[in-house]
Chain A
Amino acid sequence: VQLVESGGGLVQPGGSLRLACAASGFTFSRYEMNWVRQAPGKGLEWLSYISNSGRTIYYADSVKGRFTISRDNAKNSLYLQMNTLRAEDTAVYYCARDLIVGALDLWGQGSLVTVSS
């Protein structure tokens, strides 16, 4: 049972990046999923939620209009499309499984995104 993020890296301000989260060992389509990030030396910041069907989506105000969450249940994968990136988006990005509302019981190892020129 695990989540594995990929797609992080160095990107210039204003650029785009797409993170992926591969799920294995459990029935991915049954679970709501989230993205959470942690800036260097800072606390946890929730970014986005997607229901198991993909029909319900929520975003934090800090990323609304710039980031898009999506999922492909056939591929057991979660995505985060990040556009118009800013220096303050530099962080480790985690995907996390929702046990019940707001209780994230399975986390990936994290993917580092660095926004810098």
Chain B
Amino acid sequence: QSVLTQPPSASGTPGQRVTISCSGSSSNIGSNTVNWYQQLPGTAPKLLIYSNDQRPSGVPDRFSGSKSGTSASLAISGLQSEDEADYYCAAWDDRLNGVVFGGGTKLTVL
């Protein structure tokens, strides 16, 4: 059971916009910034969004993040086949004194 809650799966067709939600609590998302990771099959995770809505250099602007209260969302617009991957949200947890991850969302591009 992960501390942050994500839907196990999501799907969309090429060109569509997809959102993935992440729900937490006051000790993590409610008081710290949210980060999102993309993990392609057989590879290490890659930082996709940090500080709720910031994109590291090289991440397309099709990817965007937002946060409100104890929840956050990742949006992917103009969906492409190469976006098919697992996506994880994460945040620092002040009560646990550590990083907590969501269980991951498997995105399928139909």
Contacts and interface: CB of A to CB of B under 8 A. Distances in A.
B27 interface: no
B47 to A, nearest CB: 5
A23 B47 CA distance: 18
Interface residues of A, number: 23
A44 B101 contact: yes
Interface in B82-110: 86, 88, 90-92, 96-104
A49 B56 CA distance: 21
18 contacts: A34-B99, A43-B2, A43-B101, A43-B103, A44-B45, A46-B90, A46-B98, A46-B99, A46-B100, A58-B98, A60-B98, A100-B50, A102-B33, A102-B91, A102-B92, A103-B50, A104-B37, A104-B99
Interface of B: 2, 32-33, 35, 37, 39, 44-47, 50-51, 56, 86, 88, 90-92, 96-104
